[in-house]
């Protein structure tokens, strides 16, 4: 059990949970890198389905009404994404570099980055609920046919199953994992701030019982090491050549008409507002 959790004892002799074992950090790093290697090997060696350019040419010819550039992420959404990414990387480095042997005064940077992350997530929840298509990022039973079709395509089959709406299924599953892990790390982290000195509120080490504090620390640690694996996977997919168009959209805000038709189902992601279309510079 010490491989996963660390235990201590209270002044009353009770055994109490204290932390996750930092062995799990190395396990998460290993899992992340192993996934990366396995996926990269599969992509090199497998016969996964690639759409023939002629098919996309035909689709593009059939939809001349679409603009050359399709808006995918608003400026506000992109700003949120990069603020969140910066705060997440700061959180992970301040949390895990000291464990890896790089010693520095990390606590203040950690909780400040945590507050930036919390604020940006709160903003994102409100922004997505009010101004974006809230349900476009979520997964549910309705996506099972798409999951089946995506798996078959990855295995090299040519299947007619549904294509993604605005977000590919992988994106939506990743978002779901991040929601669970991210909310766990934020809730536990905000609670833990009560135990450290900040200018925001008085310390109260007795807010919770020893065993409940242990649970909070373990939740924070578990979610933290899980984020290591999730971030490795995210960065890996962001830099993969066949996914670069998605990353580029997170920088520039738009994708091309060809990418839209090649990767998305126009019936599930309708480009509705002609006013929002970004003009093609070639026609300007």
Closest CB to other proteins among 145 and 205?
Answer: 205
CB of residue 26 vs other proteins: minimum separation in angstroms? 16
Q: From CA 135, how far away is CA 281, in angstroms rounded?
A: 32
> Which residues in 5-24 contact other proteins (CB under 8 A)?
6, 8-11, 16, 18-19
How far is Cα 39 from Cα 42, in angstroms, rounded to an integer? 5
Token pair for 206: 């007795």
Site string for other proteins, 175-214 (x = CB under 8 A): --------------------xxx-----x-xx---x--xx
Of 4-12, 69-77, 135-143, 144-152, the window that binds other proteins (rule: CB under 8 A) is 4-12
Interacting positions 206-265 with other proteins (CB under 8 A): 206, 210, 213-214, 217
170 binds other proteins (CB under 8 A): no
Cα 53–chain centre separation:
30
Q: 68 vs 112, which CB is nearer to other proteins?
A: 112
| Cα–Cα dist 227/28, whole Å | 8
d(CA 43, CA 65): 34
Nearest 10 degrees: CA dihedral of 190, 196, 202, 204?
80
Listed ranges 60-68, 74-82, 97-105, 229-237: which one lies at the site for other proteins (CB under 8 A): 97-105
CB of 11 to other proteins, least distance (A): 5
E-only strand ranges, the chain? 5-9, 15-20, 69-71, 254-256
Phi, psi torsion values for 158, nearest 5 degrees: -100, 100
Closest by CA position to 214, among listed 13, 7, 4, 25: 7
Q: Does 140 bind other proteins (CB under 8 A)?
A: no
Residue listed under structure tokens 């990269």: 40
Residues in contact with other proteins, counted by CB under 8 A, come to a total of 25
Q: What one-character DSSP code corresponds to residue 275?
A: G
21 torsion bin: left (phi>0), alpha (psi -120 to 50), beta (else): beta
CB nearer other proteins, residue 4 or residue 244 = 4
Among residues 103, 199, 201, 281, which is the contact residue for other proteins, using CB under 8 A? 103
Site track for other proteins across 106-125, x = CB under 8 A: xxx-----------------
Residues 84, 89, 112, 209: is their CA dihedral positive or negative?
A: positive
The piece of 74-82, 104-112, 258-266, 268-276 that touches other proteins (CB under 8 A) is 104-112
269 touches other proteins by CB under 8 A:
no
Q: Which residues bind other proteins (CB under 8 A)?
A: 6, 8-11, 16, 18-19, 98, 103-108, 195-197, 203, 205-206, 210, 213-214, 217
């Amino acid at each position: 059990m010490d491989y996963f959790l660390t235990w201590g004892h209270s002044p009353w002799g009770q055994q109490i949970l204290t932390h996750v074992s930092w062995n799990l950090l190395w396990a998460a790093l290993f899992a992340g890198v192993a996934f990366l290697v396995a996926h990269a090997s599969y992509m090199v060696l497998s016969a996964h389905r690639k759409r023939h350019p002629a098919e996309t040419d035909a689709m593009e010819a059939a939809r001349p009404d679409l603009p050359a550039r399709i808006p995918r992420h608003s400026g506000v959404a992109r700003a949120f994404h990069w603020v969140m990414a910066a705060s997440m990387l700061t959180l992970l480095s301040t949390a895990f570099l000291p464990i890896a042997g790089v010693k520095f005064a990390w606590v203040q940077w950690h909780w400040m980055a945590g507050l930036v992350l919390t604020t940006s997530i709160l903003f994102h929840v409100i922004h997505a609920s009010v101004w974006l298509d809230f349900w476009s990022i979520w997964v549910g039973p309705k996506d099972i046919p798409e999951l089946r079709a995506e798996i078959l395509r990855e295995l090299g089959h040519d299947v007619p199953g549904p294509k993604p709406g605005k977000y590919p299924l992988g994106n939506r599953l990743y978002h779901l994992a991040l929601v669970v892990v991210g909310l766990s790390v934020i809730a536990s982290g905000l609670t833990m701030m009560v135990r450290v000195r900040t200018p925001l509120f008085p310390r109260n080490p007795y807010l919770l019982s020893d065993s409940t504090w242990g649970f909070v620390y373990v939740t924070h640690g578990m979610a933290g090491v899980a984020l290591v694996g999730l971030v490795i996977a995210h960065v890996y997919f962001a830099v993969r050549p066949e996914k670069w168009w998605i990353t580029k959209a997170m920088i520039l805000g738009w994708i091309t008409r060809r990418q839209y038709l090649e990767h998305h189902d126009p019936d599930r992601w309708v480009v509705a507002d002609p006013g929002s279309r970004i003009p093609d510079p070639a026609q300007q």
